[in-house]
C-alpha cells in the first residue's frame, strides 16, 4: 500500500519534505486548497513561521478543512512551526494566533532563541532506530504534555538538556527539529509507517 501524503505548500521546506517522503515509499503532493487536501491520506506541516502559516491557512480556506480532517483521525506530522500549529496550546504566540490543535501539549514558540541560537545535536527518538542528528532553527519546545500525548524525544545534553522536542498522540507526530534538512529520512519513514497503520 502506497499512502498519498500531502505537504502543506504555503510556506517552508515543502520540496525537502516531498523528497524525503518519496524516498521512503510514499506518494507526496503539495496541498494548497481543500480539494487537494481531500485527495490525501495524511498531511505534513513543514517548518516556517507559525503566525504566517496560520494567516495563510485562513486566506486559502484551509484552516477548518484541515482541523476537521484532524478531528476525524487523519495522520499528520508537524516539524518546528508544524509542531506549533498541531499543538493545543501555545506560549509566546502573537495576538489572535490560532492553532489547528490535535496534540495535547503546550508549546513555547521560539523557545530555543533567535536564528543565531540555532543548533544541532544527536537525539534518540522512540520509533526511530539509532541516534538521530537533529537541526533546531528558531525552534519551539514542549513545556507541558497532557495525558493523551506521549513524549518520544528529548534533548540529551547541553544547556537545553531534558527539553521535550518530539511528541506523539495517536496518528499525530510533532518534532521541534527539521529532519527534512539533514538527508536522514528515518523520521519520515516512521511517519509513513504511522500512516500505513491508519489506512
Residues annotated as part of the active site: 80, 178, 180
Q: How far is CA 163 from CA 61, 108, 123, 178, in A?
A: 34, 11, 11, 16
Per-residue cell: 36: 487537494
Cα–Cα distance between 197 and 107 in angstroms, integer?
Answer: 27
Q: 96 CB contacts (<8 Å, ≥6 apart)?
A: none
139 closest CA partner among 173, 180, 111:
111
Cβ(63)–Cβ(57) below 8 Å: yes
CB 96 within 8 A of CB 162: no
Amino acid at each position: 500500500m502506497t499512502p498519498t501524503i500531502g505537504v502543506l505548500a504555503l510556506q517552508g521546506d515543502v520540496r525537502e519534505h516531498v523528497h524525503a517522503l518519496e524516498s521512503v515509499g510514499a506518494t507526496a503532493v503539495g496541498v494548497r486548497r481543500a480539494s487537494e487536501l481531500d485527495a490525501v491520506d495524511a498531511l505534513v506541516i513543514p517548518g516556517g513561521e507559525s503566525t504566517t502559516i496560520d494567516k495563510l491557512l485562513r486566506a486559502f480556506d484551509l484552516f477548518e478543512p484541515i482541523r476537521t480532517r484532524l478531528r476525524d483521525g487523519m495522520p499528520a506530522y508537524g516539524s518546528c512551526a508544524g509542531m506549533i500549529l498541531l499543538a493545543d496550546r501555545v506560549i509566546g504566540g502573537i495576538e489572535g494566533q490560532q492553532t489547528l490543535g490535535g496534540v495535547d501539549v503546550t508549546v513555547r514558540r521560539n523557545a530555543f532563541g533567535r536564528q543565531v541560537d540555532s543548533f544541532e545535536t544527536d537525539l534518540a527518538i522512540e520509533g526511530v532506530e539509532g541516534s538521530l542528528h537533529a537541526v533546531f532553527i528558531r525552534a519551539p519546545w514542549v513545556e507541558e504534555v497532557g495525558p493523551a500525548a506521549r513524549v518520544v524525544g528529548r534533548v540529551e545534553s547541553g544547556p537545553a538538556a531534558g527539553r521535550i522536542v518530539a511528541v506523539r498522540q495517536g496518528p499525530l507526530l510533532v518534532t521541534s527539529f527539521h529532519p527534512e534538512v539533514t538527508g536522514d529520512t528515518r523520521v519520515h519513514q516512521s511517519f509513513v509507517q504511522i500512516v500505513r497503520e491508519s489506512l
